[in-house]
Copies of this chain bind each other. A is one copy, B any other.
């Protein structure tokens, strides 16, 4: 059985914690597993290096940043390998380059182009535990690249895919995916299993555990992902393909995103292409639009609503202003939040969304915008009702049972 494990920055944040990871790896080895272990930089290291760079420049060159930032993972990989060797285990540390990870040339946010599985396979064939410095690769010019935030997760998932690993275990300080944020609803329950798609829709619940890029890649490569804590022996949550059993559950989780601002454009000229123009302009300005709602117009005019991160509302206002008289009026609300229910069961059950609407109505919470996908219903509401909405929905779908 070949397992790829990945330990995040908090899990390797001190020398004692690295020893703890070594003990966990050794235990898995004793169970007869072949192991590839991907590590992050010790927590705080990457931020320290970024601060160093910003001492010299507000906008340091990305190529230099990659050489700088890739050093932290190398340190952890070498230390973990040393710890395992001292315990009598045959370990070998490899950089991203040595592990065969080739990326494109987009420095600081590179994409993995391909992985040559041979170097790691050779080491495994020799009975070694392979420790890989996460978050990094080299491009075809031989320059060091890094994969962006959450990059070590990507390294782990990509290696699991390339090596045909049986499973990929992502260790952090959180022991799995919960039905909602336990800080909001103490009755939140850890999920045993969740589908890739649900996980992607529940990004805000899993953000501390798994980045969306990694879940997407795991889905694409069919990698069985476990989200686990390196500080406990709990089973964690398995993120995998949809199964029959999952569909019996109407809703898997409730997510809250408070970083939302609403924009409503009234009386938009109802000519072909106007929406495209507006959203292209927003994209050009690097404004991330989340929900978009458009109703059928009357009198040659239509209303258009969308949400953006709160930090980008001023830029969004500027874009709207640039359309002049093509838009009659606009109003903005920075005091909104998005509450979402997610579940693959929605596909095969009716009335799931209606239950959400009535739950909020019972609590006198007005819904400003609604957006639905196959497995998600998202609602924009007044920010101050966010936590109440989460708790009400959590109870309504009996997620605490």
Cβ–Cβ contact B49 & A61, under 8 A: no
Complex Cα distance A98/B145, Å?
Answer: 13
Q: Which of chain B's residues have a CB closer than 8 A to the CB of A19? A: 56
Q: Is the interface of A mostly helix, strand, loop or mixed?
A: helix
Complex Cα distance A82/B67, Å?
Answer: 11
Given contacts A79-B56, A144-B95, is CB(A74)–CB(B64) below 8 Å?
A: no
Total residues of chain A contacting the partner, CB 8 A = 39
Is the CB of A346 closer than 8 A to any CB of chain B?
Answer: no
Residue in B57, B72, B74, B81 whose CB lies within 8 Å of A85: B57
Is the CB of A65 closer than 8 A to any CB of chain B?
Answer: yes
Complex Cα distance A239/B310, Å?
Answer: 63
Q: Which of chain B's residues have a CB closer than 8 A to the CB of A61? A: 81-82, 85
Complex Cα distance A52/B75, Å?
Answer: 9
Is the CB of A43 closer than 8 A to any CB of chain B?
Answer: no
Q: Which of chain B's residues have a CB closer than 8 A to the CB of A53? A: 78-79, 82
Q: Which of chain B's residues have a CB closer than 8 A to the CB of A97? A: 142
Cβ–Cβ contact A67 & B57, under 8 A: no
Cβ–Cβ contact B15 & A52, under 8 A: yes
Complex Cα distance A235/B95, Å?
Answer: 42
Is the CB of A71 closer than 8 A to any CB of chain B?
Answer: yes
Interface residues of A in 347-381 (CB under 8 A from B): none
Closest to A72 in B: B71
Q: Which of chain B's residues have a CB closer than 8 A to the CB of A244? A: none
Q: How far is the CB of A221 from chain B (nearest CB, A)?
A: 26
Is the CB of A308 closer than 8 A to any CB of chain B?
Answer: no
Complex Cα distance A65/B86, Å?
Answer: 13
Is the CB of A44 closer than 8 A to any CB of chain B?
Answer: no
Cβ–Cβ contact A67 & B78, under 8 A: yes
Cβ–Cβ contact A56 & B86, under 8 A: yes
Is the CB of A60 closer than 8 A to any CB of chain B?
Answer: yes
Apart from A19-B56, A63-B93, A67-B77, list 16 A-B contacts with CB within 8 A: A56-B79, A56-B83, A57-B82, A61-B85, A64-B81, A64-B82, A64-B93, A65-B82, A67-B74, A68-B82, A70-B74, A71-B72, A71-B74, A71-B75, A95-B144, A98-B142
